[in-house]
Chain A
Amino acid sequence: TQLLEQSPQFLSIQEGENLTVYCNSSSVFSSLQWYRQEPGEGPVLLVTVVTGGEVKKLKRLTFQFGDARKDSSLHITAAQPGDTGLYLCAGAKGGTSYGKLTFGQGTILTVHP
């Protein structure tokens, strides 16, 4: 059972377009992290959101944590070819979980010049 549903799984767009990736769950997370991974490399942390309703911006990337801390979204404005990669959301339960993360299925983003 996948506890964190990430969509879409594949996204192919033209440079300059906007896009949104969603992560949804029926479970409450104490925090949610977004990572970007390039082929042959490990995931790189983009952001951690902790508070329900929180919005964080990282240049053209906007991350939002749902009010109930069950869902999150990543919005990219004016996508560029350099944004191409695998985007992963991951939720943490907190408490005694030792930081164990539940990962979404991932979104493979391809931005064409």
Chain B
Amino acid sequence: EVQVVESGGGLVQPGGSLRLSCAVSGFTFSRYGMSWVRQAPGKGLEWVSGMSGSGDSTYYADSVKGRFTISRDNSKNTVFLQMNSLRAEDTAVYYCAKDIGYSSGDYFDYWGQGTLVTVSS
């Protein structure tokens, strides 16, 4: 059974940093891309970042480029999202999602339950 579990969300002040983690099990982690998708309160879905199975390719939405960094540890079946210079508009539930393929940029067949990030003073 595939499991995707996010952690690390919380309240942070504008300009602050936060690191999200996503632990997965139930599939061969290194064979699949992983992505982060966020959802602001009462709003729709927004793709944030993705990474290929080996970690050699990374992708970012323009809204977070230069501020967020995605990484993964294939020995621990975990993907991370380092978020710096946070803004109020980054407030959202952040979902970790498994890409259907190796390279990332496809659709997502498994999602975690999400972790809430609130940026506020």
A and B physically associate: no
